[in-house]
């Protein structure tokens, strides 16, 4: 069984589980930039949460496939059609026998649409994960973004549950304004007190520099930071907010490099990092300072809410 | 003095004196099995953990205890790798810039670069990227104004105080002085990365 890519869109890659435990070798975790949407779409298709699926940046995607099979689409908001007929996101889409065209329109809200095929996609395993890491060209489909004419094979090995619609309460809220809970980090005290107050509370705009590595935050008034760089490169992670000399901070995402030389001025909390994958240029982004205890409570609540559906058979 | 502290809800960092101390602490922490990531760098060890599995206070205690108990490996035991480098040309497009920063001709710079051993201080930035300490103080080149989107695997770079090796291709902002064919990555090995922090590198001009 095969998925024939006719329009890949701006950037479509295969993503699967995180590539964990190798940051001391310089290896990013990768995986879906919005890992919760990806896990829910996989579950809707009846797959394991970390089965290999497509991450389609900004939509604008089309492919042909041979039924019968089941797939699911979700994440950023976009129209989905099968042979011209509109179908719903976040629910199993059953494709009958014969050649069908699936089309995903441009994303109208959010940045990344996920498409999972029941059984998962075949992909190159590299250092323990099938996720594509474009800068070094490994994982996924030949380590690269998909092109028109690529033929993806359905693995058939990753189905472990009956396909099921994602309950409305679990579907991530895709917005154009994002309030991201964050904690101060290693060099937050390098900010002037006025800049610290603005970092936690004032709105920024997501800039045009947006990729799986990170999101630039822009404002009219650059932040004032005591030193332009660290004397020694220090570890950074998805969710780390760094501030270069320009005073325009950026938030690192799934493909974040493992070390960096800019002051680390905040850390988006673990429970909310998946939302970074849906921020698009022009969106409004506000960091909200929370305590360690609040962060843990948000994580526990979210994990408990998702577990029942993701683990259901 | 700053010791262990939280730098995020699932991140903690311990200040140490140098990369050898960081490695010794990291090795000890790995035995605990409590962490998702353990990243030793030149002045710190940073760990990532699941806050629903281990309390932050317990993480800080583990870090502080590891600093107290860690035993550094003896410096004399470090393995030395001889890495042949194709200097200059399309393999090392920035060698003139780096040599000029030291007030040297390219030939003089190549001689200088091969004249000492460089300890692998840490791995990081991109997969298999090795920071090598101890570059002669006369080199004062900085990072490139515009990073390259693609630096070939095996590339060797140099900036003030450091040389570097790219085990795999990736983006990069270091001036590139040459490239080696030395096998730096082997997927058939349990640890596919040939360079390991603590070992020493000696460069020689490839023929």
Judged by CB atoms closer than 8 Å, whether chains meet at A231 and B192 is answered as: no
Chain B hits for A137, Cβ within 8 Å: 169
Best B2, B3, B6, B8 residue to mutate vs chain A (most A CBs within 10 Å): B8
Q: How far apart are CA A6 and CA A12, in angstroms?
A: 12
Closest residue in A to B150 (Cα) is A135
> In chain B, which residues have their Cβ closer than 8 Å to the Cβ of A127?
192
A86 touches chain B (CB under 8 A): no
Can you spell out the DSSP letters for A138-202? BSBBTTB---TT-EEEB----B-S---PPPGGGS----SEEEEEEEE-TTGGGB-HHHHHHHBTS
Instruction: Provide ipTM, 2 decimals.
Output: 0.96
Q: Report the residue of B20, B54, B120, B124 to disrupt the A interface, i.e. the one with the largest count of A CBs within 10 Å.
A: B124
Instruction: Spell out which residues of chain A touch residue B5, defining contact as CB-CB under 8 Å.
Output: 186
Alpha helices by DSSP H, listed for B54-193, are: 56-69, 95-101, 106-113
A37 in Cβ contact with A74 (< 8 Å): yes
Average pLDDT over residues B13-40: 95
**pLDDT surpasses 70 at B74:** no
Is residue B1 predicted with pLDDT exceeding 50?
A: no
State the pLDDT confidence band at A13, using cuts at 50, 70 and 90: very high
Q: What is the pLDDT of residue B147?
A: 81
A190, A226 contact by CB (below 8 A) = yes
Query: What is the gyration radius of the CA atoms in chain B, in angstroms?
Result: 19
Range A125-142 average pLDDT? 94
Model pLDDT for residues A75-125, shown as the tens digit of each residue: 999 999 999 999 999 999 999 999 999 999 999 999 999 999 999 999 999
Please tell me which residue, B59 or B126, carries the higher pLDDT value.
B59
Half-sphere exposure in the Cβ direction for B124 (13 Å, CA): 26
* B121 close to A (CB below 8 A): no
Give the model confidence (pLDDT) of A25-57 as tens digits: 999 999 999 999 999 999 999 999 999 999 999
Instruction: State which residue of chain B sits closest to A257, comparing Cα positions.
Output: B125
β-bridge partners, A183 = A267
User: What is the tens place of the pLDDT at every residue in B131-151?
Assistant: 999 999 999 998 888 888 889
Q: A73 vs chain B: nearest CA distance in angstroms?
A: 29
The band of A245, judged by pLDDT with boundaries at 50, 70 and 90, is confident
Question: Percent of chain B scored above 70 by pLDDT?
Answer: 97
- B127·A259 Cβ contact <8 A: no
Give the DSSP per-residue string, chain A. -EEEEEE--SEEEEE-S--TT-GGGT----S-SSHHHHHHHHHHTTB-TT--EEEEETEEEEEEEEEEEEEEEEEEE--EEETTEEE-TTS-EEEEEEEEEEEEEE-SEEEEEEEEETT-B--B-BTTB---BGGGTBSBBTTB---TT-EEEB----B-S---PPPGGGS----SEEEEEEEE-TTGGGB-HHHHHHHBTSEEEEEEEESSSEEEEE-SSPPPBS-SS-SS-EE--TTEEE--TTS--EEE-TT--SEESS-EEEEE-GGGGGGGGG--TT-EEEEEE--HHHHHHHHHHHHHHHHHHHT--
Q: Please check whether residue A23 touches B, CB under 8 A.
A: yes
pLDDT at B173: 86
Indicate whether A185 pLDDT > 90.
Answer: yes
CB-based contact B46 A234, cutoff 8 Å: yes
Residue among B125, B176, B120 nearest B148 (CA): B176
- Cβ contact A233–B124 (<8 Å): yes
Inform me whether the C-beta atom of residue B186 falls under 8 Å from chain A C-beta atoms: no
Q: Which of A22, A25, A276 to mutate to test the interface with B (most CBs of B within 10 A)?
A: A25
């Amino acid at each position: 069984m095969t998925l024939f890519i006719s329009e890949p869109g701006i950037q479509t890659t295969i993503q699967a589980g995180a590539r964990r435990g190798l940051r001391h070798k310089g290896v990013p975790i990768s995986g879906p930039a919005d890992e919760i949407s990806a896990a829910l779409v996989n579950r809707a298709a009846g797959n394991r949460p970390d089965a290999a699926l497509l991450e389609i940046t900004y939509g604008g995607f089309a492919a042909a496939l041979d039924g019968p099979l089941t797939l699911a689409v979700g994440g950023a908001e976009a129209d989905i059609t099968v042979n011209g007929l509109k179908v719903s996101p976040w629910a199993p889409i059953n494709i009958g026998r014969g050649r069908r065209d699936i089309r995903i329109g441009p994303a109208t809200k959010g940045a990344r649409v996920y498409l999972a095929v029941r059984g998962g996609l075949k992909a190159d395993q590299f250092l323990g994960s099938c996720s594509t890491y474009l800068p070094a060209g490994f994982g996924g489909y030949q380590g690269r973004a998909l092109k028109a004419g690529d033929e993806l094979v359905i693995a058939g090995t990753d189905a472990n549950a009956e396909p099921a619609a994602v309950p409305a309460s679990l579907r991530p809220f895709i917005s154009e304004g994002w309030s991201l809970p964050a904690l101060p980090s290693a060099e937050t005290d390098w900010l002037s007190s006025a800049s610290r107050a603005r970092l936690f509370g004032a709105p920024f705009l997501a800039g045009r520099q947006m990729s799986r590595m990170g999101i630039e935050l822009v404002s009219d008034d650059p932040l004032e930071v005591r030193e332009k760089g660290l004397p020694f490169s220090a570890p950074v992670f998805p969710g780390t907010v760094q501030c270069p000399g320009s005073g325009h901070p950026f938030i690192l995402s799934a493909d974040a490099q493992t070390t960096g030389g800019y002051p680390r001025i905040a850390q988006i909390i673990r429970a909310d990092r998946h939302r970074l994958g849906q921020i698009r240029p022009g969106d409004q982004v506000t960091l909200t300072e929370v305590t360690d205890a609040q962060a843990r409570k948000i994580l526990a609540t979210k994990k408990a809410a998702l577990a029942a559906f993701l683990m259901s058979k | 003095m700053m010791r262990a502290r939280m730098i995020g809800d699932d991140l903690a960092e311990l200040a140490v004196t140098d990369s050898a101390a960081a490695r010794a602490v990291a090795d000890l922490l790995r035995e605990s099995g409590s962490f998702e990531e353990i990243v030793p760098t030149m002045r710190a060890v940073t760990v990532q953990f699941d806050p629903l599995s281990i309390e932050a206070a317990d993480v800080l205690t583990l870090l502080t205890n590891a600093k107290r108990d860690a035993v550094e490996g003896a410096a004399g035991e470090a393995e030395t790798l001889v890495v042949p480098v194709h200097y200059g040309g399309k393999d090392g497009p920035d060698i003139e810039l780096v040599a000029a920063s030291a007030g040297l001709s390219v030939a003089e710079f190549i001689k200088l670069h091969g004249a000492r051993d460089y300890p692998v201080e840490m791995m990081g930035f991109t997969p298999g990227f090795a920071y090598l300490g101890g570059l002669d103080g006369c080199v004062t080149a900085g990072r490139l104004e515009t990073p390259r989107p693609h630096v070939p695997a095996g590339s060797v770079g140099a900036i003030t105080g450091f040389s570097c090796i790219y085990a795999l291709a990736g983006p990069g902002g270091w001036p590139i002085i040459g490239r080696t064919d030395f096998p730096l990555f082997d997927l058939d090995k349990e640890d596919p990365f040939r360079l390991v922090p603590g070992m020493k590198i000696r460069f020689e001009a490839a023929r």
